[in-house]
Amino acid sequence: MGPSWLPKTIDRFTSRLRVGKPVLYTSVLATLLAIAAAFSIPSLSMDKPAGERPSTDSAAAIQAPLHAKGGKIVDARGKEVVLTGVNWFGLETGTFAPHGLWSQNWQKMLDQMVGQGFNTLRLPYSNELFLPASKPTGVDYKQNPDLENLTGPQIMDKIVNGATNRGMMVMLDRHRPDQYGQSPLWYTDKVSEQTWIKDWTDLAVKYKNNPLVIGADLHNEPHAQATWGDGKQETDWRLAAERAGNAILKANPNWLIVVEGTENYQGPGGKGYWWGGNLQGAKDNPVRLSDPSKLVYSAHDYSPKVFGQNWFSDPNFPKNMPALWDSQWGHLVKSGTAPVILGEFGGRSVSEKDSEGVWQRALIDYLKQNKISYTYWAWNPNSGDTGGIVGEDWTTVNKDKMDLLKSYQGPLAPKAANNPA
């Protein structure tokens, strides 16, 4: 997922072989808001989830570390864990800080996420974040005084520890190599595979003693020339995921290694799908880690408002969708091969009267029926194709979206200790 001003997003709708996906739009207005934000912290009471949620008492509480068992994620006691979270982007962009800090206090934002019932935060970053020249912008320091003079990685530490101190699990997401856009492969001419892996192992060591930092989403949305299982070192995403995953596990054996799909699968019956959403190849060519119990796959899925895929015009829509999801990524869960996290999905409408809303409702039903984890895209309102959980004021919650998401939420984890925000 990448901002619309980035050059690499221009061709995604013009190439026949590429599949459209969401683009983020950070407007000039947002930039002005970052510069001239209101200088008072608005009062914000924590929103309470509607309906009942699973108990968070000591008997039901999640105990880290997590691992895979068949098609499920389980905790240290073997109890099934379902991640039901949200994405909060910005660290991967040129602000080098989560978006919205020009309008809202970061701790109040996390309080609101927890109040809405999300038990997991997927936190995107770029490798450029870790360079000394990458200075955070777009932060109102009157509302966020404890972030002043911090580097991007130090702000990242604040967000991670703040989330885990509230009982949220955190999954880090290498979303792009630099602020300028996503890359089809895990490396570019400016960010090498060696840098990609080193940044991951550094993070694995840094957060090793925080049990609620649960894993690494290795590379966001492999697509275009990315292959699966053909043995080509330059393009075989499966092999690259093994190299990075095993290096991370050597540094931190507790983490889950989250491996997204590709766009296309070149094997028998292979079809094109969303960027990062095609896991057909994992059936015959699974990722091989030094600890197989740490492997979790991930897919992304989007609505007809993002791109008019042919399955949305099927006369049987939405009844045709479960079979499609089965074939692309759900088969791994249903066969007991490995767990899957739906790392991104979202849309502006959840209405029963339009195709996007019908699609979102069908997808939530599918996830719930199969106990599949998810992280919703996105908390941010400045995701151009999908909108956000909160509105343009970064405070008002979209009740219709949350009513749908609250129909399928898991419990929070016990709050992490000794991790001051």
Residues marked as catalytic: 221, 344
Question: Do 348 and 303 form a contact (C-beta atoms < 8 A)?
Answer: no
Give dist(CA 310, CA 281) in Å, integer.
Answer: 21
Question: Do 413 and 64 form a contact (C-beta atoms < 8 A)?
Answer: yes
Nearest-5° Cα angle at 378, 398 to 409: 75
Give the helix ranges, DSSP H, for 166-213: 193-206
Nearest-5° Cα angle at 163, 385 to 380: 15
Q: For 415, list phi and psi in degrees, rounded to 5.
A: -60, 135
Hey, how many other C-beta atoms are within 10 angstroms of the C-beta on 20?
18
Joined together, the tokens standing for residue 331 give: 């088969």
Residue 368's H or E segment, with its range, is helix 355-370
Cα atoms in the Cβ-side hemisphere of radius 13 Å centred on 311: 20
Give the helix ranges, DSSP H, for 132-235: 152-165, 193-206
Cα atoms in the Cβ-side hemisphere of radius 13 Å centred on 3: 21
As to burial, measured by CB atoms within 10 angstroms (0-12 exposed, 13-18 middle, 19+ buried), residue 240 is: buried
Give dist(CA 2, CA 297) in Å, integer.
Answer: 22
Nearest-5° Cα angle at 349, 346 to 350: 85
Q: For 384, list phi and psi in degrees, rounded to 5.
A: -60, -40
